[in-house]
Structure 1
Amino acid sequence: MVNAFLKAAIPTILKDTPKDFFHRRQMFLKDKADLAYSKLADIPSLKCYLKPEACTFLWTQLEMSSFLNIKDDEDFCEKLATEENLVLLPGIGFGLRGWARHSIDMDTQTLEDAFERLKSFCDRHSGC
């Protein structure tokens, strides 16, 4: 819920923010979404059905039958955090059992490192 002070300030903030800020931010997020989507294509046990246009996160479906020792999305996220120091949110918290939410709003090097660790984890736990 937006408080009254913030609600009153929003028109001024939007008016006084340079127009190129919004374009630069949208391009930054689009670049991160493109990178994340391409990296996910290299991880067979994860499926991203919709390439985001410009957002701060994306969703992937976990192909649970691909994993040897992972019960569900919560188990996947817990083991990923423990083994790779990488945090994804389990989909069950959003009503999406078997899915995970990835934040992609970070610098390119950090995002590439995150996907390397994610791929390593999935390869290690996959029956393929």
Structure 2
Amino acid sequence: MNDKGYTLLEALFQIVVFVLVCHVFVLIILWATTMKTSIMTDEHSKWELFVFEMSTNLVNATSLSVRQNQRTIMLQTANTWQYFDCYHNMIRQRVNGGHVPMIVGINNCQFQLSGNELTIAVEFPSGLKKERTYFVPIIEK
């Protein structure tokens, strides 16, 4: 550079570098916010795990009913009865006197049985509402 002082060319060069750095910073911030919304939230992950686990339980059903004001599912397989309850802020599975939490951190849940279709509706504290309908082929033995 010039030993005689600060030139206009140096000032323009520094401004260009500063503007480029600012643009890169803004792009990184925008990318980070889109990544945050594109990745599944904790509630989505909980729901998908619950849906998978519930579908594995319904595969070998010989009897299915919904009781207690649409808050309990009674499921009979070949040799056991399983109950799925909306209990406080979770859906729990009761088998042989024990309790297994299937999904926790919910505000409300409801079960509906219409023919061979079981519908499970859940509301999370964030206001997110999820619903899944299963076709349950009752196996008569």
**TM interval, short-chain normalised:** under 0.3
Q: More helix per residue: 1 or 2?
A: 1
TM-score normalised over the length of structure 2: 0.25
Q: Tell me: higher relative CO, structure 1 or 2? Use CA pairs within 8 A at least 6 residues apart.
A: 1
Determine which structure has more spread, i.e. the larger CA radius of gyration. 2
Q: More strand per residue: 1 or 2?
A: 2
